[in-house]
Structure 1
Amino acid sequence: MLNNIQIYTKNCVKNLQNTKICNFPAMNDVTSRFLIIYEYLKEAKVVSNIKSFATELNISTSLVTEICKKRTNAGMVPISNLLARYKDIDANWLLTGEGSMLKSSGSTEANINYKELAEARLEIIALKDEKIEWLNKELKKKKGL
């Protein structure tokens, strides 16, 4: 029986008379969620394209292309690399679809923009420098009296 069947593509099986027998689903749920994460990261401008996403995950561009074109499913390497690289992605959601895509943080402090903190710190340092300069001038005036 199996001798009469040939694989036409990864998603389609045809018999020797070239009649389509079955059309397999193009991708599994985990791969669908993997692609949702890719789109989310593109929208957030974390990655710009397939190549940058593949580089971030330390996998080949061709593998990500095949996943995006729904020719192959995301395997263990892309999934584990994704979870290792993006710590805020919830592994439970990726694997089961339960919960939300992003981990919920126990406090809002985890979401603070560190660039803003650095800028605020520099501003405070500049204000302290101004105050020190002013105090030194006042001290010189008092010594001059």
Structure 2
Amino acid sequence: MDKTMMLNMIQNYYKLNKDIEFASLLGISSQVLSNWKKRNTFDAQLIYTKCLNINPEWLLTGKDPMFKAALQTEAAQDNINYKELAEARLEIIEGLKFKVKTLEKELSELKYAQKETFLYSNVAESTPELIKKTSK
């Protein structure tokens, strides 16, 4: 079975209409997912660890069933809306990016303040020497 088709089947199962949502679920960039689809390949181990209920034999060979036999009925009854989960993950990622930017700004301000303190302390230390030299 075509690996791009398999990726699309997994994406459809999780009700993710956009590649960016599916990539987020997998913990990869949308560019990596796009490359997988273009090259007709994927990281089976990654998909197996991120996508519950997927039959590992199906991932490796493409032979049915797509779901683990013991979990097939459970998968059919699964009421989790994976699209909402992916959107929540994206919101968390955006929040973390904002926090990183805030912390980077604070760090930059602290470095600047530290440089100013160093400059003022050097000036204060050298001032008596300047006074002595000019008064002679």
- Given the two structures, how large is their TM-score scaled by the length of structure 1? 0.43
Higher strand share: 1
- Which TM-score applies when normalising by structure 2? 0.46
User: Which has the bigger relative contact order, CA under 8 A and spacing at least 6?
Assistant: 2
